[in-house]
Amino acid sequence: MMSDLSATDRDVSRETSERLSALEGLLRKWNPAVNLVSKESLKDARTRHIVDSQQLYTLAPRDFHRWVDLGSGGGFPGLVVAILAAEQNPEAEVILVESDQRKAAFLQQAARALGVKATVHAERIETLSPMKADVLSARALAALPALCRFAERHLEPGGVAIFPKGANHQAEIAEAQQSHDFSVSVLPSVTDKDAAILVLKKIKAR
């Protein structure tokens, strides 16, 4: 894992690397009170959460205008996206959706502390007004059929959805294809040999 981390860190500026480290510090500070991520995963937070989120950014169009992260939780990938966009795509809009009020409060305070642009919506995904995202992400939120329904509502027709998934990703794809048509690229995860990143386009209910 360390080789992946080192390679990822070389791709960003010192300021961005410092912000990512600051995010890890905020996560460790807040987690005992708010339970942002599992205690076990906190032991290797840099790889499990930060590098795992960074890889999603590399799969998105470089010139995206609005990235919407559903169920942002502890800020993964949403806050990581906001940090990377501050350097690489500063005009972009990053929106984090998190219905848990305490987690949403963390996201707002963390964005301010990190000095990055991120709008937080403390609302349920199902009732949120359509977000018109050209990039949509969700990490450890729901099964793929539900994510496709969310994408129908919040993703622009020409947009791309990026969903990291675990070892059962092929079964989730097959299940989602029962209710939706879409094109999908299955890419290997740099942080988990059994996991994959699903990049979906042209999502439409059957």
Residue 76 known to bind ligand: yes
Residue 71 known to bind ligand: yes
Residue 40 known to bind ligand: no
- The answer to whether 118 and 96 have CB atoms below 8 angstroms apart is yes
- The answer to whether 123 and 104 have CB atoms below 8 angstroms apart is no
Residue 126 known to bind ligand: yes
Characterise 17 by phi-psi region: left (phi > 0), alpha (psi -120 to 50), beta (else).
Answer: alpha
As given in the structure block, the two tokens for residue 43 are 């032991």
Q: In angstroms, rounded to a whole number, what is the distance separating the alpha carbons of residues 16 and 36?
A: 22
User: What residues are paired with 200 via a beta bridge?
Assistant: 161, 184
- The answer to whether 139 and 115 have CB atoms below 8 angstroms apart is no
Binding site listing:
71, 76, 125-126, 139
> Which segments are annotated as binding site for S-adenosyl-L-methionine?
71, 76, 125-126, 139
